[in-house]
Structure 1
Amino acid sequence: MSDPVLELTGLEKTFNPDTPGEIRVLRGADLTLARGEVVALVAPSGSGKSTLLHIAGLLDGADAGQVKINGRDMGAQSDRRRTETRRDEVGFVYQFHHLLPEFTALENVVLPQLAAGVSDRKARARSEELLTRVGIADRASHRPAELSGGEQQRVAFCRALANGPAILLADEPTGNLDPTTSDTVFAALMELVRDTGLSALIATHNLELAARMDRVLRLDDGVITNGL
């Protein structure tokens, strides 16, 4: 696989080490994500897929192993450079939207751009474009409590893509939605990912959704294997 955007090599992670409650979550996990590729990560609850995504997105550190983003070894970077990479090159979507309740849908998408130094005018234009792409431009002035679950998650997608990341990491992005809404929201996410040429690693329990991605990986007993 040429020119990978994300490489995880030999990741190990243990919680409560050297105690009776020790939990070895990752046992040498390896993963490569190509540019423009959408990969499903399938695993049962408690298997460590959230931990793996957090390490891949530089939200947490591994006990051993290497994370490379766009060819750069993140373990060799300064804290500042890692923060900049996480802000500019990685987008996150979670099962729960985590939108800021006091701000409108548009403002929730604008804020990460302002934090990255984008002008208010450009940030608003970008936000309006993204909300239009996922079909909720008419809800831009509504706060999260005034939106349905599916609408809230679509705003979360837009927020994750606001700064034009190279990688999208999504942890059960439709897991909190009913089946019909889940399918609609997932279709909006896939269209957005394909249109922007993103690379995406999407953790899901839904095997039907997983089958619609380019490749399916399974996290099993701390290691990654191919297929369902």
Structure 2
Amino acid sequence: MSDTVLRLTGIEKSYNKGLPNEVQVLRGIDLEVTRGEVVALVAPSGAGKSTLLHIAGLLDTPDAGTVEIGGEEMQDRSDRRRTAVRRADVGFVYQFHHLLPEFTALENIVLPQLANGVARGAAEERALALLDSVGVKDRATHRPAALSGGEQQRVAFCRAMANAPRLLLADEPTGNLDPSTSDRVFGALMTLVRETGLSCLIATHNLDLAARMDRQLRLDSGGLQAE
């Protein structure tokens, strides 16, 4: 079995394609993320990092190029198959936590598991274990509004990990936090990632956080290069 969890080959993406105001965001992007590797995607605002992450996570389709997850090429797969792979193999974390406000921290992590066919008891057990691993198990019964920003984002990490994905995609996951909280929350994420052997592609403009990852890539002017 290949160690490559994510492979992007020749990815191109434009907006307003064919119009006078066409903007080419991605130009022939090649990228591989191997099992257990944490890769920083460093990019200025508007460079296309969110677009690249959405393509990698099967939320968007490229104009050209191929996306492979776990060795399976996804561009010609049905919507049902793409959804199944996205649900089982990919976790997402965003700058804003996007937790469901009417549910507790525990329930926010249980719900994706129930949607994936996991029994409630087993889902709750895993949710509690994940919350414990990032230091917020004692907040399990609190709704998001009763949590601090750092606690909310740690719960969001746990939700992304709920179905034990192969790949975690994170878009400025600590960008909405103050520097001290950002450092603590990122440390909790890295501990969780290292313990599970998860592969990660993390977009950030924070060079200090990027330096703590295995490899840094810079996205600029539609191209990708090693830092």
TM-score interval, normalised by the smaller of the two chains: over 0.9
Cα separation, 2, equivalents of 1:3 and 1:174: 28
Match for residue 167 of structure 1? 167
Match for residue 27 of structure 2? 27
| Aligned-partner residue type, residue 6 of structure 2 | L
Cα separation, 1, equivalents of 2:134 and 2:68: 30
> What is the percent sequence identity of the aligned residues?
71
Match for residue 8 of structure 2? 8
Cα separation, 1, equivalents of 2:139 and 2:116: 24
Cα separation, 2, equivalents of 1:3 and 1:184: 30
| Aligned-partner residue type, residue 54 of structure 2 | H
Shift of 1:95: 0.2
Match for residue 38 of structure 2? 38
Shift of 1:81: 1.1
Q: Secondary structure at the match of 2:75?
A: helix
Shift of 1:68: 0.3
Shift of 1:214: 0.2
Match for residue 133 of structure 2? 133
Q: Secondary structure at the match of 1:153?
A: helix
| Aligned-partner residue type, residue 39 of structure 2 | V
Tell me if 1:64 matches 2:64: yes
Cα separation, 2, equivalents of 1:127 and 1:146: 18
Cα separation, 2, equivalents of 1:3 and 1:132: 29
Shift of 1:172: 0.2
Tell me if 1:80 matches 2:80: yes
Shift of 1:3: 2.3
Cα separation, 2, equivalents of 1:3 and 1:104: 36
Cα separation, 1, equivalents of 2:64 and 2:18: 16
Match for residue 96 of structure 2? 96
Q: Secondary structure at the match of 1:27?
A: strand
Q: Which ranges of structure 1 fall in alignment gaps of 5 or more residues?
A: none
Match for residue 202 of structure 2? 202
Q: Secondary structure at the match of 1:163?
A: coil
Q: Secondary structure at the match of 1:169?
A: strand
Cα separation, 1, equivalents of 2:186 and 2:21: 37
Cα separation, 2, equivalents of 1:222 and 1:82: 25
TM, length-normalised to structure 1: 0.98
Tell me if 1:55 matches 2:55: yes
Deviation larger for 212-221 or 19-28: 19-28
Q: Secondary structure at the match of 2:44?
A: coil
Q: Would the aligned equivalents of 1:30 and 1:223 in 2 still touch at CA under 8 Å?
A: no
Cα separation, 2, equivalents of 1:132 and 1:20: 53
Shift of 1:21: 2.3
Runs of 4+ in structure 1 displaced over 4 angstroms?
none
Match for residue 225 of structure 1? 225
Cα separation, 2, equivalents of 1:20 and 1:129: 53
Cα separation, 2, equivalents of 1:149 and 1:21: 39
| Aligned-partner residue type, residue 88 of structure 1 | A
**RMSD in angstroms over aligned alpha carbons?**
0.7
